[in-house]
């Protein structure tokens, strides 16, 4: 029996696990993917995030989690009319896989039990504890006094709870959008130290973005329907190409999440 089961080994889950262990609680941290896992993210840590890492983990983000250019200098935001706004701020460019893997390692080092490749499927309130239904190599259960849901936006437990409560009030099933990123080889006229966000409808159904990670040009779009992500990305490529020389031929990897 644990004091707390934390579901999800992203920044929230790893930080919660680490802080609770420090207070003397017996903690289990479960993560559905094998660490280090991919997370759809631009991986720019703002100053506040870096300060929180120092506060809860007692040290700065290690070089092993960083990517080039390591210093992010802010954001350039273009609204739906094409007007550009610049926000200057100090930030750090990281690969989320390595950053989150490091955080989980630190939580484990401090005494949390970490199970990766294990998904939480259910929570059932029993007499004085919560039984968490888990699935790794096989189905099993663990008990805890408390469960903290740190599943991020895409989570089995969160969807169950959202459906239960949203259904009660409005009858509506929660809807999600999909983010889709491609990692491209090529060159660009934009400053790689900045994160670029675009609200132009011709680029994406919600927003589109661009940044540079270890010499890869990252193009991202958000879509309502995951099936359409390829089509939307392909349609926007000629527009991206006005400022980049990358394209389908230079495409290396594609990820959605």
Ligand X SMILES: Cc1cc2nc3c(=O)[nH]c(=O)nc-3n(C[C@H](O)[C@H](O)[C@H](O)COP(=O)(O)OP(=O)(O)OC[C@H]3O[C@@H](n4cnc5c(N)ncnc54)[C@H](O)[C@@H]3O)c2cc1C
Residue 10 binding ligand X, by CB under 6 A: yes
Binding mask 70-109 for ligand X (x = CB under 6 A): ----------------------------------------
Among 6, 9, 29, 123, the residue binding ligand X under the rule CB under 6 A is 9
Residue 30 binding ligand X, by CB under 6 A: yes
Round to whole Å and give the CA distance between 227 and 86. Answer: 33
Residue 142 binding ligand X, by CB under 6 A: no
Among 29, 66, 75, 157, the residue binding ligand X under the rule CB under 6 A is 157
**What is the 3-state secondary structure of the chain?**
CEEEEEECCCHHHHHHHHHHHHCCCCEEEEECCCCCCCCCCCCEEEHHHHHHHHHHHCCCCCHHHEEEEEEEEEEEEECCCCCEEEEEEEEEEECHHHHHHHHHHHHHHCCCEEEECCEEEEEEECCCCEEEEEECCCEEEEEEEEEEECCCCCCHHHHHHHHHHHHHHCCCCCCCCEEEEEEECCCECCCCCEEEEECCCCCCCCCEEEEEECCEEEEEEEECCHHHHHHHHHHHHHHHHCCECCCHHHEEEEEEC
Among 5, 28, 32, 232, the residue binding ligand X under the rule CB under 6 A is 32
Residue 7 binding ligand X, by CB under 6 A: yes
Residue 36 binding ligand X, by CB under 6 A: no
Residue 56 binding ligand X, by CB under 6 A: no
Minimum CB distance to ligand X smaller for 155 or for 204? 155
Among 2, 4, 11, 221, the residue binding ligand X under the rule CB under 6 A is 11
Residue 150 binding ligand X, by CB under 6 A: yes
Minimum CB distance to ligand X smaller for 37 or for 106? 37
Cα 49 from chain centroid (whole Å): 14
- Binding span for ligand X by CB under 6 A among 54-62, 155-163, 224-232, 244-252: 155-163
Residue 13 binding ligand X, by CB under 6 A: yes
- Encoding tokens for residue 254? 């594609």
Among 19, 26, 33, 56, the residue binding ligand X under the rule CB under 6 A is 33
Size of the site for ligand X (CB under 6 A): 29
Cα 7 from chain centroid (whole Å): 14
Rg (CA), the chain: 20
Residue 129 binding ligand X, by CB under 6 A: no
Residue 155 binding ligand X, by CB under 6 A: yes
Residues that bind ligand X (CB under 6 A): 7-13, 30-33, 37, 39-44, 49, 119-120, 150-152, 155-157, 179, 220
């Amino acid at each position: 029996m644990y004091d707390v089961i934390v579901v999800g080994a992203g920044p929230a889950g790893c930080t919660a696990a680490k802080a609770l262990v420090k207070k003397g609680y017996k903690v289990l941290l479960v993560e559905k993917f094998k660490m280090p896992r991919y997370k759809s993210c631009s991986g720019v840590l703002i100053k506040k995030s870096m300060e929180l890492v120092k506060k809860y983990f007692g040290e700065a983000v290690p070089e092993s989690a960083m990517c080039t250019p390591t210093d992010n200098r802010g954001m350039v935001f273009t609204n739906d009319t094409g007007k550009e706004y610049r926000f200057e701020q100090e930030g750090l460019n990281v690969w989320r896989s390595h950053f989150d893997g490091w955080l989980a390692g630190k939580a484990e080092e401090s005494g949390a039990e970490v199970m990766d490749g294990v998904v939480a499927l259910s929570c059932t309130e029993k007499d004085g504890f919560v039984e968490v239904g888990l699935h790794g190599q096989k189905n099993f259960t663990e008990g805890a006094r408390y469960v903290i849901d740190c599943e991020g936006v895409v989570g089995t437990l969160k969807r169950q709870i959202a459906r239960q409560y949203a259904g009660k009030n409005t009858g509506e099933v929660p809807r999600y959008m999909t983010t889709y990123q491609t990692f491209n080889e090529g060159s660009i006229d934009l400053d790689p130290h900045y994160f670029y966000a675009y609200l132009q409808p011709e680029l994406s159904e919600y927003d589109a973005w661009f940044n540079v990670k270890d010499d890869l040009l990252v193009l991202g779009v958000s879509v309502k329907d995951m099936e359409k992500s390829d089509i939307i990305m392909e349609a926007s490529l000629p527009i991206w190409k006005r400022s980049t020389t990358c394209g389908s031929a230079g495409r290396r990897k594609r990820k959605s999440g």
